[in-house]
Amino acid sequence: MKKRIDRSKISYDVGKRGIGIPRLVAKLGGSISFGDILVAIKYLINRRHLIDGQSITEYEQAFAKQVGVQYGISFCSGRVALYALLRSLGVGSGDEVLLQVPTHIVVANAIRYTGATPVYVDCLIENYNMDLKQAEQKITPRTKVLILQHTFGIPVDLDAALALAQENNIIILEDCVHSLGATFDGRQVGSFGKAAFFSTEETKTISSTMGGMAVTDDPELAKKMIAFQSSCPNQSNSLTVYYLLRLIFYHIFSQPYLHPYTRRLYTSFRKGSQKTLTIDTATDDEQHGLRPPIYEQKLSNAQAEIALRQLQRLQSNIEHRRKVASAYHNELNKHGIIIPRSPAKANPVFVRFPVWVDDPKTFFRDTEYSFQLGEWFTSVLEESASPTYGGYDLGSCPHAEASTQHLVNLPTHPSVNPRDVDTIINTMVLLNSVHNPSK
């Protein structure tokens, strides 16, 4: 019989501050400032440049400069940025694209929408990045692209990956949706492959609610990408307004001193057991491996201005995340809790900090009133109705499948303060000692 603990004591220790006001750390937040909210309100009041405007070009140029490449091309989402890259590279029927699991269903979908076949590669348990030795075994004459996902913001061993790609004459695309600001050997990830794609969806390092960016140093590829972007329709006014309202909502409702109350209010309107302020980012069609009626779209000017503001604050954002992650790493490691190991030359920027536990359900249950654990990845193809909809063969990648049964992830965002860090560490150590007494 599993031991149980007095959750009220944990809740009190974690949630009370100073004069006794409850504080609950959400799993996302902190990247949006009050100034960003004022910008969103400005566009909600005056919608003249809501969709088109100069902020898009300024944002693209600043993003490319941040990564250390020449060209940035924005889209409505990271998945569309990937799809545009694959199309511009001529990927299509008969081609194979190597990608790792765990990943998101929308990555597999972007490949499948071109007519190409996703070929799944298992991950390394040590950091949840691609097992490059297995990837080498899966290369065939039809292999055209290798997608490298820097999972949780931990860079892949890019020395080994680049050598593998060069030896086999295949194109590297970097999946940087978790890793804006991370470096390998002192160089920004996203600048190593033929191109890379990023996301500014609300759970990522910076947030425009939804949004994506492709970057490259290749002028010919950039030319094709700009042509593809030009062919995409604009987002509707109503969708952009929705994204701005949602951005304001998350900023307010994820505030640690409001979150104990707003979370209860929010979940009272939701059915089922999920108790978070996030909602699915994949449509029902995408969850079933189908292409939605509306897919390729441009990023709006209003979202570009908000993302640009956050990009200008990126350094302080990632310094904070690294400091928080370093504290988790040092203290949890002392107590034998399984934490990731990064490649020697990698300097991660943990968008979330992954921890391996025996029984995630007990950790979610016992931290419910303390802080919000993240649940990336609960499936080898996150948010899929079933991995089979992405063409994944169950049992083919055992490390990735095992990770979906054991991973929880800790918040690193700028709303996590030093006392929160101590509380989260102490709680994780206590729960580990109760639920994994032999470790």
Q: What is the pLDDT of residues 123-150, one digit of tens each?
A: 999 999 999 999 999 999 999 999 999 9
Q: Is 90 exceeded by the pLDDT of residue 337? A: yes
Q: Which is more confident, 119 or 20?
A: 119
Helix intervals (H) in 89-131: 105-113
**Residues in CB range of 407: below 8 A, 6 or more apart:** 128, 354, 355, 356, 360, 375, 376, 377, 378
Q: Is 70 exceeded by the pLDDT of residue 348? A: yes
Q: Which CATH number does the domain 34-231 belong to among 3.40.640.10, 3.30.70.890, 3.40.50.2000, 2.40.37.10? A: 3.40.640.10
From CA 43, how far away is CA 41, in angstroms rounded? 5
- Longest Cα–Cα distance of the chain, Å, equals 66
Q: What is the mean pLDDT of residues 187-209?
A: 97
Q: What is the mean pLDDT of residues 24-39?
A: 93
**Residue 362: predicted pLDDT:** 93
Tell the burial category of 106 from Cβ atoms under 10 Å away from its Cβ (0-12, 13-18, 19+). Answer: buried
Decide: helix, strand or coil at residue 214: strand
CB burial string 291-311: b at 16+ within 10 A, e below: eeeebbbbbbbbbbbbbbbbb
Q: Is 80 exceeded by the pLDDT of residue 198? A: yes
Contact 380, 388 (CB under 8 A): no
Q: How confident is the model at residue 266 (pLDDT cuts 50, 70, 90)?
A: low
Q: Which is more confident, 181 or 275?
A: 181
From CA 397, how far away is CA 255, in angstroms rounded? 38
Q: Is 80 exceeded by the pLDDT of residue 417? A: yes
In whole numbers, what is the pLDDT of the chain averaged over residues?
92
Q: Is 90 exceeded by the pLDDT of residue 433? A: no
Q: How confident is the model at residue 10 (pLDDT cuts 50, 70, 90)?
A: low
**Residue 14: predicted pLDDT:** 43
Return the closest-CA partner of residue 372 out of 288, 260, 268, 261: 260
**Residue 260: predicted pLDDT:** 84
From CA 129, how far away is CA 384, in angstroms rounded? 20
Q: Tell me the domain boundaries of the chain.
A: 34-231
Q: Which residues pair with 21 in a beta bridge?
A: 17
Return the closest-CA partner of residue 104 out of 404, 321, 398: 404
% of the chain residues with pLDDT over 70: 90
**Residue 22: predicted pLDDT:** 77
Return the closest-CA partner of residue 232 out of 80, 338, 408: 80
Q: How confident is the model at residue 259 (pLDDT cuts 50, 70, 90)?
A: confident
Return the closest-CA partner of residue 401 out of 23, 93, 103, 30: 103
Q: Tell me which amino acid residue 86 is.
A: L
Q: What is the mean pLDDT of residues 34-49?
A: 97
**Residues in CB range of 271: below 8 A, 6 or more apart:** none
Contact 77, 177 (CB under 8 A): no
Contact 165, 186 (CB under 8 A): no
The single residue listed with the structure tokens 């692209």 is: 145
From CA 205, how far away is CA 191, in angstroms rounded? 18
pLDDT, tens digit, for every residue of 144-188? Answer: 999 999 999 999 999 999 999 999 999 999 999 999 999 999 999
